[in-house]
């Protein structure tokens, strides 16, 4: 028996599969996808096993990670009914409630939800974890061990999962356009495109690390960059004039509302 089976090898599934292979070793990971060739190609790349059906994956792995679209979770669980004895189901799907997962799997199957993000692929992810009624401490710690190479993992109440998803799950897509736009500004000011992107991305990484490592309020860190009468405050004033903060808050709220609808 392998430790982890993954159903769905798309953007999020493949990021988690790579991290699980690093944490457990590829011999502990089995993967399946609707298009087998896609699972096979990933398995060949990282050395884990690909199987042709979801049932084979569930039969081979103790922790069964469901990495398909929210609307497909119910159907996949119906397909797996009878194959989940002594298994633990871990859903990655946004907006699909633990209570629904429990009703679709049957009461005796422990169920957990996780909300990862794509930077899990390089060990820089932020993932939340919630457990259903029959999930035991061992199930939490086992999932945390499987996710050990994905980055930061935190247990949260399920009621906060949609809000967490909006900030951390969707968040990378709110940051990439910003990095791209900063680089565009750099290009407009004369930097070569390839250099401008590296400078913008490394700066973003550094600024985020300052928030996490210093514990200082982002407002204070911003103030530290703004020399009186200098260039930074001129740029900050432009961001405020264009409503950067309102745009960021509205983006998170729109994603939060949508997350709540995805499982329905
Ligand atoms: N993309 C992201 O950043 C994040 C996604 N999620 C969740 O992860 C799940 C997957 O999302 P993505 O990876 O973005 O989608 P995706 O479309 O990239 O991947 C889904 C994969 O599932 C496969 N698939 C479809 N039906 C299947 C079936 N019946 N059996 C086996 N495989 C099947 C598809 O061929 C595809 O490879 C969603 O539920 C989403 O809410 C959660 C956090 C972040
Ligand atoms: O866009 C989505 O629906 C998923 C949920 C979190 C990130 N991607």
ipTM entry: 0.98
Q: Is 161 in the pocket of ligand 2 (CB under 6 A)?
A: no
- Full pLDDT tens readout for the chain, 264 residues: 999 999 999 999 999 999 999 999 999 999 999 999 999 999 999 999 999 999 999 999 999 999 999 999 999 999 998 899 999 999 999 999 999 999 999 878 999 999 999 999 999 999 999 999 999 999 999 999 999 999 999 999 999 999 999 999 999 999 999 999 999 999 999 999 999 999 999 999 999 999 999 999 999 999 999 999 999 999 999 999 999 999 999 999 999 999 989 987
Q: What is the pLDDT of residue 34?
A: 97
Q: Whose CA is nearest to atom 26 of ligand 1?
A: 34
> Given the DSSP bridges, would you call strands 61-66 and 49-50 parallel, antiparallel or unpaired?
unpaired
Euclidean distance between CA atoms 119 and 136, whole angstroms: 28
Superfamily the domain 2-157 falls into: NAD(P)-binding Rossmann-like Domain (3.40.50.720)
| pLDDT for position 160 | 98
**Would you tell me the crossing angle of helices 36-46 and 11-24 to the nearest 10 degrees?**
30
**Ligand 2 center from residue 139 Cα (angstroms):** 24
User: Quick one: tokens of 73?
Assistant: 């979770």
Q: Which residues contact 115 (CB under 8 A, 6 or more apart)?
A: 92, 94, 127, 128, 161, 164, 165, 168, 169
Of 171, 115, 102, 172, which Cα lies nearest the Cα of 147?
A: 115
Ligand 2 centroid – CA 98 distance (Å): 17
Is the CB of residue 55 below 6 angstroms from any atom belonging to ligand 1? Answer: no
Half-sphere exposure in the Cβ direction for 35 (13 Å, CA): 6
Per the CB < 8 A criterion, the answer to whether 21 and 43 are in contact is: no
CA distances (Å), origin 198, targets 117, 120, 180, 182, 189: 22, 20, 10, 11, 15
pTM of the predicted model as reported, rounded to 2 decimal places: 0.95
CATH of 172-262, one of 1.10.3730.10, 2.60.120.1060, 1.20.1440.120, 3.40.50.150: 1.10.3730.10
Residue 24: CB partners within 8 Å, gap ≥ 6?
3, 4, 145, 146
Which pLDDT value is given to residue 82? 87
Helix, strand, coil content of the chain in percent (nearest 5): 60, 15, 25
Residue-range domain boundaries for the chain: 2-157, 172-262
In the reported structure, the alpha carbon of residue 258 is separated from the centroid of ligand 2 by a whole-number distance in angstroms of 9
Say if CB 169 and CB 94 are below 8 A apart.
yes
For the Cβ of 170 lying below 6 angstroms from any atom of ligand 2, the answer is: yes
Tokens 């070569």: give the residue: 192
């Amino acid at each position: 028996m392998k430790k982890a089976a993954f159903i769905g090898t798309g953007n999020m599934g493949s990021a988690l599969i790579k991290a699980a292979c690093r944490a457990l070793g590829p011999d502990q990971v089995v993967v399946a996808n609707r298009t087998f060739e896609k699972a096979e190609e990933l398995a060949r790349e990282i050395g884990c096993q690909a199987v042709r059906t979801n049932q084979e994956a569930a039969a081979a792995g103790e922790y069964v990670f469901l990495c398909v679209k929210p609307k497909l979770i119910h159907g996949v669980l119906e397909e797996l009914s009878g194959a989940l004895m002594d298994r633990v189901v871990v859903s990655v799907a946004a907006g699909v409630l633990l209570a629904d997962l429990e009703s679709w799997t049957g009461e005796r199957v422990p169920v957990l939800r996780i909300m990862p993000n794509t930077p899990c692929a390089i060990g820089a992810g932020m993932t939340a974890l919630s457990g259903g009624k029959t999930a035991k401490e061992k199930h939490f710690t086992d999932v945390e061990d499987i996710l050990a190479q994905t980055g930061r993992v935190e247990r949260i109440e399920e009621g906060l999962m949609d809000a967490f998803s909006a900030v951390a799950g969707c968040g990378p897509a709110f940051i990439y356009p910003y990095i791209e736009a900063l680089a565009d500004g750099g290009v407009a000011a004369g930097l070569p495109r390839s250099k401008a992107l590296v400078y913008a991305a490394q700066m973003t990484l550094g600024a985020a690390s300052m928030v996490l490592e210093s514990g200082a309020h982002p407002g204070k860190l911003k103030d530290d960059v703004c020399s009186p009468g200098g260039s930074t405050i001129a740029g900050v004033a432009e961001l405020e004039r264009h409503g950067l903060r309102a745009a960021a808050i509205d983006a998170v709220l729109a994603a939060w509302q949508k997350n709540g609808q995805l499982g329905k």
